[in-house]
Amino acid sequence: MTDSIESGAVTDGQGRNLPPLQLHVPEPPARPGESADFTHFDIPAADAAPRPDEATHPSQMRDFAYGLVRVLDEDGHAVGAWDPKLPADTLLRMLRYMALTRAFDGRMFRAQRQGKTSFYMKSTGEEAVSIGAALALSRDDMCFPSYRQQGILIARDWSIVDMMNQIYSNKGDRMKGRQLPIMYSAREAGFFSISGNLTTQYPQAVGWAMASAAKGDTRIAATWCGEGSTAEGDFHSACTFASVYRAPVIMNVVNNQWAISSFSGFAGAEATTFAARAIGYGIAGLRVDGNDVLAVYAATRWAADRARANGGPTLIEHFTYRVEGHSTSDDPTAYRSAEESSQWPLGDPIARLKQHCINLGIWDEERHAAMDQQLAEMVRDAAREAEKNGILGHGLHHPMESMFQDVFEDMPWHLQEQQQQMLDEWKAAGL
């Protein structure tokens, strides 16, 4: 089709000069050694977003996918239509749960560095996403998390010793060493098994919500994924089913700006917001300040009330920042500016809620320091208790035959034969 290329111009078969096509490759605003720059972010005032009625049709909510729901302003005051006006005891519980999640993360990160477990993922800077949502949902609503929502279990008062047992893959691990550390499963806490495969939890959550509606139940589902996971087919399949069947589900996209080593632009952040994914599916979409626990709570409660009233699904983008590496296997200094975490314009979620509580006169720096000390000691004692059951480096902690168990309710004959063959060979080898 092209006759010639001269001086950067392209001549087509009809003699027209056309500019050469160019491929756009997204680039983050700053690389290692460069100054962090967030000036391109449009951060509206905390009281800028109106609060629509929960029954509002998705077609009337387009602007909410491009704005930013905020409650806490720069001075720590709760303002605007989205202020949930929570009582003091709830605010302090929120603060404690976020601080406990951070203390837990710190202890388990050090345990990995000490060789006690193979892997860990911290949620530093993202605690509000889990804690705010967990407190807004009902205790029996079903959560389908990704791998950075440990705060949900903590906010539902799940045993941190049990969580540590799973991380250590020890004899107290209810998963019997079969799951990667941090991929918890707690049915009693309404916490579906975490999968390492990206976004498998989305269609699972939508299916669970559809089943709840089909049975005439009152429980709803909520699910979480990272912004990069919105490129997965499972995300779009889930959106289709949720929209068509008006499933009572909340679909959370945690936009923490980075995947393992690629920034959110590769998932589409340069072109639009992730909340805007909702528009094409006819789903209500909200974009929320993910470092503001009151905004997360308010948006989740709005979406939950909508779902319970048979208003259908809501997609919430939590605009936040991953302070630490993607996991203990990652070194973020290799791909992003070292200044980014300190320059993030939406601040630290714990510090913001702490300031709000101080402004209200229900908290102070001395009590906060005492709480941090108490939580650090509590997490330390829990770790010591869990380590009595063993750590990963101590070898196998469960009988060999357990690898055949818990797959079928009644083990079929051929697996029974395989299990016995393995045990016989194991015994013959003197092991």
User: Which tops the pLDDT comparison, 221 or 16?
Assistant: 221
Q: Are the CB atoms for 30 and 36 separated by under 8 Å?
A: yes
How many angstroms separate the Cα of 344 from the Cα of each of 36, 37, 123, 390?
9, 9, 15, 39
- CA nearest neighbour of 154 among 98, 217, 196: 98
For position 46, what pLDDT does the model report?
96
Q: What mean pLDDT is predicted for residues 163-188?
A: 95
Q: What mean pLDDT is predicted for residues 45-72?
A: 97
User: For 15-29, 69-83, 209-223, 262-276, which range has the lowest pLDDT when averaged over its residues?
Assistant: 15-29
Reply yes or no on whether the pLDDT at 5 is more than 60. no
**What's the rounded Cα separation, in Å, for the pair 335 and 231?**
21
Q: How confident is the model at residue 394 (pLDDT cuts 50, 70, 90)?
A: confident
Reply yes or no on whether the pLDDT at 392 is more than 90. no
Show the CA angle centred on residue 337, arms to residues 108 and 30, nearest 5°.
140
For position 8, what pLDDT does the model report?
63
Q: What mean pLDDT is predicted for residues 218-246?
A: 97
For position 9, what pLDDT does the model report?
67
Reply yes or no on whether the pLDDT at 6 is more than 60. no
Instruction: Classify residue 2 by burial, with Cβ atoms within 10 Å: 0-12, 13-18, 19+.
Output: exposed
Strands 284-289 and 249-255: unpaired
pLDDT digits (tens, 9 = 90+) for 127-148: 999 999 999 999 999 999 999 9
pLDDT digits (tens, 9 = 90+) for 329-359: 999 999 999 999 999 999 999 999 999 999 9
Percent helix, percent strand, percent coil in the chain, to nearest 5:
45, 10, 45
Give percent of the chain with pLDDT exceeding 70. Answer: 97
Is 0.75 surpassed by the pTM of this model? yes
User: Which tops the pLDDT comparison, 230 or 404?
Assistant: 230
Using only the alpha carbons of the chain, give its radius of gyration. Answer: 24
H-helix or E-strand spanning residue 249: strand 249-255
Amino acid at 280: G
pLDDT digits (tens, 9 = 90+) for 416-431: 999 999 999 988 988 7
For position 1, what pLDDT does the model report?
44
Q: Which tokens in the block code for residue 22? A: 């160019």
For position 109, what pLDDT does the model report?
98
CB contact set of 218 (below 8 Å; sequence gap of 6+): 212, 308
| CATH architecture designation of domain 58-394 | 3-Layer(aba) Sandwich (3.40)
pLDDT digits (tens, 9 = 90+) for 273-282: 999 999 999 9
